[in-house]
Amino acid sequence: MGVVHALASADRPAGEMGILIGNAMVGTFLGILLVYGFISPLANLVRQKSHQQIKMMECIKVTLLSSLNGYAPRIAVEFGRKTLFLNDRPSFYELEDHVRSMKNQIGINSADVKDY
């Protein structure tokens, strides 16, 4: 807006034009600083958080769909696990230990159940 105001005042003396052009340049610099320094990193953070949430939902979807398509539960869980980002993905052994602890916690006898 400062540039428009400066160009609209083209009939003024050079001293006033210099001040108007300086104000326009400061406004432009502040706008660029706000966008690239604050707004863009904030937007990237929000985008990253939404992608993480989508990946979790995709993991659930893939696990359920592969189970419905007749895959063994361990294979279905492995399909779902592979959809997660590498830094969020549990290792195979971590997942196996967690499933075993959940079985023990709810009292399922491992002889009664072949797979999860």
Average pLDDT, the chain: 85
Query: What are the b/e assignments for 69-100, b being 16+ CB within 10 Å?
Result: eeeeeeebbebbbebbeeeeeeeeeebeeeee
| Amino acid letter, residue 50 | S
- pLDDT tens-digit series, residues 28-78: 899 999 999 999 999 999 999 998 889 989 999 999 999 999 999 888 988
Is 114 part of any domain? no
Residues 6+ apart with CB under 8 A from 92: 78, 81
Q: Number of folded domains in the chain?
A: 1
Entry pTM: 0.56
Is 15 part of any domain? yes
Is 46 part of any domain? yes
Q: By residue range, what is the domain housing residue 72?
A: 2-106
Rounded to whole angstroms, how far apart are CA atoms 86 and 39?
Answer: 28
Is 112 part of any domain? no
Is 21 part of any domain? yes
Is 9 part of any domain? yes
Give 26-68 as a DSSP string: HHHHHHHHHIIIIIHHHHHHHHHHHHHHHHHHHHHHHHHHHHH
